[in-house]
Amino acid sequence: MIAEAGAFALILALALSIAQVGLSLAGRVRRSAPLAGAGEGAALAAFGAVALAFAALMHAFVVSDFSVANVAMNSHTEKPLIYRVAGTWGSHEGSMLLWCLALTGFGAAAAGLGGGLPRGLRALTVATQGLLGTVFLAYTVFASNPLARVLTPPVEGRSLNPLLQDPALAVHPPFLYAGYVGMSVVFSFAVAALIEGRVDAAWSRWVRPWTLAAWSCLTVGITLGAFWAYYELGWGGWWFWDPVENASFMPWLIATALLHSAVVTEKRGALAGWTVFLALASFTFSMLGAFLVRSGVLTSVHAFAVDPTRGVLLLIILGVTAGLGFTLFAWRAPSFAKGGLFAPISRESALVLNNILLAAATMTVLLGTLYPLIREAMTGEAISVGPPYFGLTFTPLMVALLILVPAGPLLAWKRGDARGVVQRLWVALLAFAAVALLTALLVAPRKVLGAAGVGLGGWLVVGALTEIVERTRAFRVPAAESWRRLTGLPRGAWGMTLAHLGLGVFVMGAVFETAWKVEAAEALQVGGALDIGAYHVRLDGVRPVTGPNYDADRAEISVTKDGRAVCRVHPERRQFTVDGQTTSEVGLCYRGASHIYVVLGERRPGVGAAWLVRAYWNPWASLIFLGPAIMALGGVVSLSDRRLRLAVGRRRERAA
Amino acid sequence: MRVRALLAALAGVLCVAAASDPAERLADPAQEARAREIFRDVRCLVCQNESIDDSEADLARDLRLIVREQVKAGRSEGEIKAFLTERYGEFVLMTPSFSASNLLLWSGPFLVVLAGAVLLFLRLRSRAPDAELTPLEAERLRALSRDEAS
């Protein structure tokens, strides 16, 4: 019964989305507030209906109702509750429903919070959001219905891929989807502005909080995914340039570019066309990601196995929505005002350079992901584009960008003073030199590029702090005055500093871990040991344990240094009872920001029971995940800035 | 100093204990390190986007064996890669070749930078970069207005 109610609610949501489009458009054309208001009401109701459908599906998963095909295919009664809940979005159909939930949720938020917007722009935004909702809900209802029943329900379900049964991965998709789909509001805003024919400072101010919210969620989502890969796949790697990782990374890069270009449009009225272009591109890349993951065109660990018809449908949705958006752009954008002038050395120029480099980086990722497909389709020859390609293209572009980052915020608008900026950045420059030199001298084996990379992280961290020091005029005015300035700093400034600081922390961790990680592997008998750096890793024993839906061999491993106990880890090798898949549960020992990472491998046949044990010393690995967390925090802090709250816009409009 | 000792110890380990399966390992650490370097650029053909350095698949093991044998026989990285490409096609290498058919792949990102730079240059030049007066002009204007005032 509940599943039917959910299926009905899903169809109702589709009807409400169609009504949302019609009513909002009519409201705009007739300039009728009641009609536009009805459109907003429809947006809220559509969200409510999808939420009901989502709750119905979640209920089916929790109670293991195997008469629902999707539950039978992706769940199992023995699975722990958290993974039964997470199973709701663990499959293609369920994740499409999550996508629709986020899409209508953001539509409802735009309708509910858009009070400060001019009526016409607001109605068109709600209409466009409704159109996106209609398209994706229609796809979900007709081609990927997660609530469809089976005639003869099986007694037991087929379970979720054991690799995905993990706490980080349970919450990874909701964040990722909030990020992907959050860009839809930005897309709708852009379409509305193009139809209205006006992009101004106010428009950029409305776009920024939505971009920030989506960007922060996407940052968290990608980081959770990387962390999952780090400790679940058991190779000690965290980023593989896997096509699906790339699919989530492209919208992130574009959103980052958009955050920066929107500042120029807001403060200086320049780059309006480019900002709108990025706003359209960000959601286009989100949709491209959705298509790539679900179409079966990619070979990837993450790809959903889905039949090609559904992929083609998604490609059509992508082509039509993005095509309409960009056609509208080509038609209307040339009429946009060019905005303020600026000198070659100015904050505008720095932000334009940021955008050029981020666009080129996105191009790298796009080519690296799609070029093998294109070339295979055209010539029939298969090629691989792996990590070395990105090392040769993406990395130099990023290095150029990272060098620029601390300078940008210190440059004045319109015309900056290059020498002044260099003077103010001398501490950061010193930090770069000191960190790089110390790394080169102290860390063996000596790696010049690695040392320079860690130094670059120092440059970013100190450069970000320099911005705060400059704003508070610390060390130049009395401390009380500096303190007053510090507490008076807008949250937006703190947000930017945190984001740049987090980037520096990430760079330090990523470079250090990549350059100086150490691995060791031995076939160990109980009592045997291997050495990794100064650490002595001893296999004390292996015993069988029984989990809720798996049997495992659990190793008892003690780590010592100079004879003193450091920690004990318990890596496991799990054999899932339902589908026979084996996964490894990594044993992690934290030493400051560094990790000792121990994996229990297979049992070696032969005389005596020997186990393959792999150990990695991953120096500074925590920073890799801490950095993006700080960046996302920066996004949230910036989002709480008074100036970005839409209510302020509303008050201002009333006063005017 | 403790840091330094630790890191020195780590460096020692790096050469001896190159990971992967100890049963497959080559006796000579230098050769083993070279083999591992090559593994990272060879794709496990049946896997999903993994190099043979990461993969536990049987085919990856076979490929590792081939590479290790050839390293042991003293063949260079280029020779080994050429051998693999001949046998399995360009697909087997993680790095796409610098060939005419991959021109767009390699140059695309830098074309974007170039296009962006040209656009920025045109934008900066399109009108006088600044409406403000140069110091010389300001001086002349001041001189002129002084004339008027007097």
Output the DSSP codes for A87-151: GGGTSHHHHHHHHHHHHHHHHHHHHHHGGGS-HHHHHHHHHHHHHHHHHHHHHHHHH--TT-B-S
pLDDT band at A653 (very low <50, low <70, confident <90, very high): very low
Average pLDDT across chain A, whole number: 88
Chosen from A277, A341, A512 to mutate, greatest number of chain B CBs within 10 A: A341
Angle at A498 between CA A494 and CA A500, to 5 degrees: 120
Owning domain of residue A612: 518-618
Has residue A507 been placed in a domain?
Answer: no
Tell me whether residues A533 and B17 touch, CB distance under 8 A.
no
How would you class A482 by CB atoms within 10 Å of its CB: exposed for 0-12, middle for 13-18, buried for 19 or more? middle
In chain B, which residue's Cα lies nearest the Cα of A361? B109
Q: How far is CA A614 from CA A520, A539, A582, in A?
A: 6, 11, 16
Beta bridge partners of A66: none
How far apart, in whole angstroms, are the C-alpha atoms of residue A418 and residue A424? 10
CB pairs under 8 A between A and B: 165
- Inform me whether the C-beta atom of residue B113 falls under 8 Å from chain A C-beta atoms: yes
Has residue A100 been placed in a domain?
Answer: yes
- A534 neighbourhood in chain B, CB within 8 Å: 5-6, 9-10
Q: Lowest mean pLDDT of A44-58, A165-179, B1-15, name the range.
A: B1-15
pLDDT in the model for residue A390: 94
- Which of B93, B117, B132 shows the shortest C-beta gap to A384? B93
Q: Lowest mean pLDDT of A187-196, A508-517, A647-656, name the range.
A: A647-656
- A616 neighbourhood in chain B, CB within 8 Å: 19
Tell me whether residues B22 and A521 touch, CB distance under 8 A.
yes
Tell me whether residues A617 and B10 touch, CB distance under 8 A.
yes
Tell me whether residues A352 and B110 touch, CB distance under 8 A.
no
How far apart, in whole angstroms, are the C-alpha atoms of residue A539 and residue A560? 11
How far apart, in whole angstroms, are the C-alpha atoms of residue A440 and residue A446? 6
| A384 Cα to chain B: minimum distance (Å) | 5
Tell me whether residues A444 and B11 touch, CB distance under 8 A.
yes
Contact A386, A416 (CB under 8 A): no
Residue A146 has pLDDT above 50, yes or no: yes
Residues 28-67 of B with CB under 8 A from A: 40-41, 43, 48-51, 54
pLDDT in the model for residue A637: 93
Q: What is the pLDDT of residues B55-105, one digit of tens each?
A: 777 888 888 888 999 998 889 889 999 999 988 888 888 888 888 888 999
pLDDT in the model for residue B11: 35
Residue A649 has pLDDT above 90, yes or no: no
Q: How much is the pTM?
A: 0.89
Helices vs strands, H then E, count in chain A: 20, 10
- A523 neighbourhood in chain B, CB within 8 Å: 22-23
Structure tokens at A465: 């702090």
Count of residues for chain B? 150
- Which of A299, A612, A617 shows the shortest C-beta gap to B49? A299
> What is the set of domains in chain B, with CATH numbers?
2-92 (1.10.8.640), 100-149 (no CATH)
Residue from A363, A434, A352, A420 nearest A397 by CA:
A363
Tell me whether residues A532 and B5 touch, CB distance under 8 A.
no
Residue from A199, A35, A181, A26 nearest A109 by CA:
A181
pLDDT in the model for residue A220: 96
Percent of chain A with pLDDT over 90: 51
Residue A256 has pLDDT above 50, yes or no: yes
Contact A521, A614 (CB under 8 A): yes
How would you class B141 by CB atoms within 10 Å of its CB: exposed for 0-12, middle for 13-18, buried for 19 or more? exposed
pLDDT band at A456 (very low <50, low <70, confident <90, very high): very high
Tell me whether residues B49 and A242 touch, CB distance under 8 A.
yes
- A518 neighbourhood in chain B, CB within 8 Å: 10, 13-14, 17
- B113 neighbourhood in chain A, CB within 8 Å: 356-357, 360, 397
How far apart, in whole angstroms, are the C-alpha atoms of residue A258 and residue A204? 10
- Which of A237, A301, A375 shows the shortest C-beta gap to B101? A375
In chain B, which residue's Cα lies nearest the Cα of A562? B6
How far apart, in whole angstroms, are the C-alpha atoms of residue A113 and residue A125? 12
Has residue A266 been placed in a domain?
Answer: no
Which comes out higher in pLDDT, residue B8 or A284?
A: A284
- Inform me whether the C-beta atom of residue B18 falls under 8 Å from chain A C-beta atoms: yes
Tell me whether residues B105 and A389 touch, CB distance under 8 A.
yes
Structure tokens at A79: 């699975």
How far apart, in whole angstroms, are the C-alpha atoms of residue A23 and residue A245? 39
Has residue A580 been placed in a domain?
Answer: yes
ipTM: 0.83
Residue A646: what residue type?
L
Domain count, chain A: 2
Q: How far is CA B25 from CA A199, A519, B19, B31, B39, in A?
A: 63, 14, 8, 10, 13
Residue A380 has pLDDT above 90, yes or no: no
Residue B1 has pLDDT above 60, yes or no: no
